[in-house]
Amino acid sequence: MPALVYSIGDIVEVYCDHKHGGRRVRDWVEGVVVHADERMTAIQFRVDVYLTDGWMVPDRILWFNKGTEKIRIIRKSRISKAGKRITVPPLRKKAITSKKRAAKASPHHRVPTRK
């Protein structure tokens, strides 16, 4: 079976040690792909995650080799209280406008604004 290719922003499930209900468990937990290349994939979580030797990961990002069986595409669908299926948008950085880009490039240069 060929290895899946993940993209930044994909929502996946990872089999790892994490906190659930105040207890540490080893099970599937939801995360977001924050780095993906030909060798490694990095997943960031919203809950505390742990290495196999017991150490908590402070930035909540775990790295995996390409082709690992510990990552899978999310299987459950989210249902809102109204009973409608929710699609979760990928996390993206906001686009920088040209005025902000110019201000970052030269902090002493003032960008003229139209009135």
Identify the pLDDT of residue 96: 47
Question: What's the domain count of the chain?
Answer: 1
Q: Tokens 């790892």, residue?
A: 16
- Whether residue 100 is predicted with pLDDT greater than 80 in this model: the reply is no
Assign 67 a pLDDT band (cuts: 50, 70, 90). confident
Identify the pLDDT of residue 101: 55
Comparing 73 with 2, the larger pLDDT belongs to 73
**Rounded CA separation 20/68 (Å):** 23
Domain assignment of residue 10, given as a range? 1-115
Identify the pLDDT of residue 14: 94
- Whether residue 63 is predicted with pLDDT greater than 80 in this model: the reply is yes
Question: Span 75-90, mean pLDDT?
Answer: 53
Task: For the full predicted model, state whether its pTM sits above 0.85.
Answer: no
Question: In 3D, which of 59, 67, 58, 13 has the Cα closest to residue 36?
Answer: 67
Cα angle 78, 80, 86; round to 5: 50
pLDDT digits (tens, 9 = 90+) for 6-44: 889 999 999 999 999 989 999 999 999 999 998 999 999
- Whether residue 50 is predicted with pLDDT greater than 90 in this model: the reply is yes
